[in-house]
Amino acid sequence: NSILFSSHLLKLSFCMEPSVFMHRVFVYGSLKRGQPNYPYMTDRSNGKAEFLGTAVTVQKYPLVIATKYNLVFLLNLPGQGKRVHGEIYKVDEKMLKYLDWFEKVPTMYQRTAVELEVKMVDKMADKEEKLSPGSIMEAFVYSTTTYEPDWPSLPTYDNYDCNGDHGLKFVLREDR
């Protein structure tokens, strides 16, 4: 069953499984499939995460690579930058809390809602999600308002890959 909670600013969709709330999360950087931190998304000890498909932000945002560790950040500056491509996951409460810890909420990133245009729906995705290419949905995203003054002037990207032609080597958490 789908339950829709709405406030005057946001409408976030939650799907209910037996006594477990599920949340949609949009990942755009090192947590995507094929990226260095993806194993954290599949580690069941962190909680449950189910890949639903791919999407792009409806609004433009600056997606930048910053710090001496070449971390990827989505600056919470709607209307600037590019439409950002990423992946949609359905996560349980345990995974959401883990991601909050992993993303150092609220000091490094903040969890906010973002409007997305669905691009591809995984054929194995939960049919109750009722996602279809071209549809608009909302999900949580980890963006930041706590960044250095020069970050908005850094090069912006629409699709992050740690091995991209930007040439900036991502430094794993354990190597920092």
pLDDT in tens, 100-153: 999 999 999 999 999 999 999 998 876 677 789 999 999 999 999 999 999 999
Closest CA to 73 of 148, 141, 144: 144
Per-residue pLDDT for 96 more than 80? yes
Asked if 127 and 32 count as a contact pair (C-beta separation under 8 A), the reply is no
Q: The whole model's pTM is what?
A: 0.85
Return d(Cα 107, Cα 65) in angstroms, integer.
Answer: 18
Neighbours of 74 (CB within 10 A): 26
Asked if 76 and 61 count as a contact pair (C-beta separation under 8 A), the reply is yes
Please state the rounded mean pLDDT for residues 27-35: 98
pLDDT at 129: 72
Alpha carbon 123 to its chain centroid, in Å, reads 20
**What CATH number labels 2-175?**
3.10.490.10
The structure tokens 């189910």 sit at 50
What is the residue-averaged pLDDT of the chain? 89
Structural domain boundaries of the chain? 2-175
Query: Catalytic residues, which ones?
Result: 103
The structure tokens 């960044």 sit at 147
Q: Is 81 left (phi over 0), alpha (psi -120 to 50) or beta?
A: left
- pLDDT: is 76 or 12 the higher one? 76
Alpha carbon 25 to its chain centroid, in Å, reads 5
